[in-house]
């Protein structure tokens, strides 16, 4: 018996891509293993949005090289890869492949015939768990943010057939999946002859079942009032909106080629919160971008305080070869200053969350359990808050009701109430 191991870095799109790779490998007779030393083939699905993210692949390749001295292992790489990166990786691994050419994988592994499919999205994913289904609705990006390589690695925006997406969602719900995620580099730029993104969201929300419907990621420039309306009236759509802002400075946003102002962003969030009850907003922030002055940074810090974000994914700017910023802007914020700003914003976020979370005290919420060790459990609310509790009655992937009895900055604590 032969085994495969897939190492996935990056976003939810990469996770779903890996699930489709798994389907192909299992069709060839491979079994999944989490033990790298047991694998006969290792696929590394990489993210190269930031240089630091891309560099992590070397650690995996080095581990496999040591194992190759003991047994024969094939190493393949896919994911977001620049042409310049391919030249480097070709010398270190057995093969590279574009995820769009997934049908060629059997030939690369064992010289077997290609899979007869029209598009790699036609391959049904081998979901890595039985309660979360990531369903890509589009791929690629047309925005060309100055720090990002995605338009060069994923190509231009390409939307999937709406009926195919709806059918995939129906099957996942029928199989009992509790979380349905519509994903893409920019989901709200989805385009179809019959459906806008709001139309597609509404159509999937109308599928009967007991599930939560989420989507990520959105671009502020494409976010519409129609999307807000669908979220407000949805039966399954969660009150969680991930809307990346990246900076609180209009100057930095211009340098990033993010075509909106802070005032525009605030207006979107204000309208969304007015219409959607208990809406939680998560966002992305990059600190230390090229030319980010002390004043620019302080504007971002004040912006975060004013917005009172519930979740922030913070990153220190990492210059990425092949992007506009790398070629044309000076990476002039020192490593130590980036790190200081990152820690400072983390501290600010914890203070905001400590205050935000007080409103959840003594309230009962429905959660989905995503981790259980003994009777120690972690659950997630529909609006993205993590609740820690104890119970020997629940299982991973189930819904249950939890009463919050303690609030901390990054997590809530509670007690099991009922199913």
User: What does the pLDDT look like over 11-57, one tens digit per residue?
Assistant: 888 999 999 999 999 998 999 999 888 999 999 998 876 666 677 77
Model confidence pLDDT, tens digit, residues 324-345: 999 999 999 999 999 999 999 9
Cis amide prior to 217 (ω within 30 degrees):
yes
CATH of 271-359, one of 1.10.3720.10, 3.40.50.2300, 3.30.750.200, 3.40.50.2000: 3.30.750.200
Give the C-alpha separation, 14 to 17, whole Å. 5
Question: Would residue 364 be called left, alpha or beta, if left means φ above 0 and alpha means ψ between -120 and 50 degrees?
Answer: beta
**pLDDT at res. 53:** 66
Residue ranges, the chain, pLDDT below 70: 49-53, 118
DSSP of 121-134, one letter per residue? GGSPP--SSSSEEE
CATH architecture of 129-238: 2-Layer Sandwich (3.30)
Pick from 166, 183, 43, 38: nearest CA to 102: 43
| Strand ranges, E, within 348-411 | 364-373, 376-381, 386-390, 399-407
Q: Where in the chain is the domain with CATH 3.40.50.12160?
A: 3-120
Rounded to an integer, what is the distance from CA 271 to the centroid of its chain? 25
**pLDDT at res. 56:** 74
Q: Where in the chain is the domain with CATH 2.40.50.140?
A: 361-418
Give the C-alpha separation, 294 to 310, whole Å. 24
Q: Where in the chain is the domain with CATH 3.30.750.200?
A: 271-359
CATH architecture of 361-418: Beta Barrel (2.40)
**pLDDT at res. 50:** 66
CATH number of 3-120: 3.40.50.12160
**pLDDT at res. 88:** 80
């Amino acid at each position: 018996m032969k085994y495969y191991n897939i190492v996935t870095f990056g976003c939810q799109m990469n996770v779903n891509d890996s699930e489709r790779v798994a389907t192909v490998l299992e069709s060839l007779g491979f079994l999944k293993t989490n033990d790298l030393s047991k694998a006969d083939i290792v696929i590394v699905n990489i993210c190269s949005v930031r240089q630091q993210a891309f560099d992590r692949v070397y650690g995996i390749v080095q581990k496999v090289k040591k194992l190759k001295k003991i047994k024969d292992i094939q190493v393949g790489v896919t994911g977001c890869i620049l042409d310049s990166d391919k030249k480097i990786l070709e010398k270190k691994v057995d093969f590279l492949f574009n995820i769009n050419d997934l049908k060629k994988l059997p030939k690369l592994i064992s010289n077997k015939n290609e899979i007869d499919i029209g598009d790699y999205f036609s391959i049904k994913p081998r979901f890595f768990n039985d309660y979360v289904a990531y369903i890509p609705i589009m791929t690629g990006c047309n925005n060309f943010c100055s720090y990002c390589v995605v338009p060069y690695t994923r190509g231009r925006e390409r939307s999937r057939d709406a009926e195919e997406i709806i059918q995939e969602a129906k099957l996942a719900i029928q199989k009992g999946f509790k979380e349905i995620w519509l994903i893409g580099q920019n989901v709200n730029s989805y385009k179809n002859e019959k459906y806008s993104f709001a139309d597609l969201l509404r159509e999937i929300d109308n599928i009967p079942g007991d599930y939560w419907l989420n989507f990520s990621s959105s671009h502020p420039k494409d976010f519409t009032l129609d999307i807000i309306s669908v979220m407000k009236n949805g039966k399954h759509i969660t009150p969680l909106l991930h809307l990346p802002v990246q900076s609180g400075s209009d100057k930095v946003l211009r340098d990033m080629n993010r075509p909106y102002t802070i005032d525009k962003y605030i207006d979107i969030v204000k309208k969304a919160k007015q219409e959607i009850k208990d809406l939680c907003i998560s966002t992305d922030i990059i600190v230390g971008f090229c030319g980010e002055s002390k004043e620019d940074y302080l504007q971002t810090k004040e912006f975060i305080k004013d917005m009172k974000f519930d979740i922030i994914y913070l990153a220190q700017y990492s210059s990425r070869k092949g992007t506009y910023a790398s070629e044309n802007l000076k990476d002039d914020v020192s490593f130590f200053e980036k790190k200081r700003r990152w820690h400072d914003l983390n501290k600010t976020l914890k203070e905001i969350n400590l205050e935000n979370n007080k409103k959840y005290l003594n309230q009962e919420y429905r959660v989905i359990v995503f981790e259980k060790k003994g009777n120690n459990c972690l659950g997630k609310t529909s609006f993205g808050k993590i609740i820690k509790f104890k119970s020997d009655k629940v299982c991973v992937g189930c819904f249950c009701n939890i009463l919050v009895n303690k609030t901390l900055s990054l997590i809530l604590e509670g007690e099991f109430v009922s199913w």
